[in-house]
Amino acid sequence: MKYIKTLITTMALTAACTSVYIPSVEAGSSYRQAKTPLHLRQGASLEQPSIAVIPTGIYVTELSKVGTWSKVQYGTKIGYASTKYLLTDAQIGGKRMGKTLIANKNLPLRSTYAPGENQQARAAFEKMRLAAKKEGITLVAFSTYRSYAYQKALFDKYVARDGYEKASTYSAEPGKSEHQTGLAFDIGGADSSKYAMFSFTKTKEAKWLFANAHRYGFHLRYPSGKEAWTGYTYESWHYRYVGATLAARLKLSGLTMEEYFQLAPWKPVQVSSS
């Protein structure tokens, strides 16, 4: 009997780990994103004391509106924030799944969306960097937030050098880059000559990241063999901060964010040669 119970438990755990996880997204939730570091106040007035500061790029749940103020929930705290500093989905662009912002070739961000580097992502990276350092691994975030204008200049440079079709396999058009979210971190190691190079894949730093990054909330965004979904060639250095829970689920499932959230895969754009 004990053997049978153990066998059943083992089979259940195996099934749970190998099945495709279907995420539940809160239907009808009114989420808003902080445009700037924003005080959460006890009441709908500047004279009311601040009970917390909402970091830029963080989603809060909007419960109601009082004039030019929004009553919002931030974590376990409920208070009031100025509505004009809370961005809507339409102002951000991309696609929000729960509190996860998706930006890809099918879902561009607005040109005006400029959150800067995400503070939570930076804090998570620093924690990961220190953990890696204890194991003799050097991690460097050599490229994080990029504005729409900077991404445009970068993409245009690559198109001029390699042509549109080739450039679009390794660089994002403006608005379609995850770097604009402030949540994408290009990570390298001690050898800067391997930054954003395929040769980084074989380094000890790349191997450490592949095995451990999810523990700190980072997801390998453009994995090998998933080009048909993401539209980009394998980038062993490009990690997206999604939080520890989602990162663990993505790691366990082996899915891209497009697959996990059941979004449409990328479709090649036919460029006329005439």
Strand partners, 54: 38
Whether 236 contacts 221, CB under 8 Å: no
Position 266 scores a pLDDT of: 85
Between the CA atoms of 218, 220, 222 and 226, what dihedral angle is there, to the nearest 10 degrees? -130
Closest CA to 66 of 82, 47, 86, 78: 82
Position 68 scores a pLDDT of: 97
- The C-alpha atoms of residue 60 and residue 34 are separated, in whole angstroms, by 8
- The C-alpha atoms of residue 65 and residue 44 are separated, in whole angstroms, by 9
Distance set, CA 174 to CA 110, 111, 117 (Å): 9, 8, 17
Place of tokens 């979004």: 263
Q: Phi first, then psi: give them for residue 142, nearest 5 degrees.
A: -90, -10
Structure tokens of 87?
């961005």
Whether 65 contacts 123, CB under 8 Å: no
pLDDT in tens, the chain (274 residues): 443 443 333 334 334 444 454 544 444 459 999 999 999 999 999 999 999 999 999 999 999 999 999 999 999 999 999 999 999 999 999 999 999 999 999 999 999 999 999 999 999 999 999 999 999 999 999 999 999 999 999 999 999 999 999 999 999 999 999 999 999 999 999 999 999 999 999 999 999 999 999 999 999 999 999 999 999 999 999 999 999 999 999 999 999 999 999 999 987 765 544 4
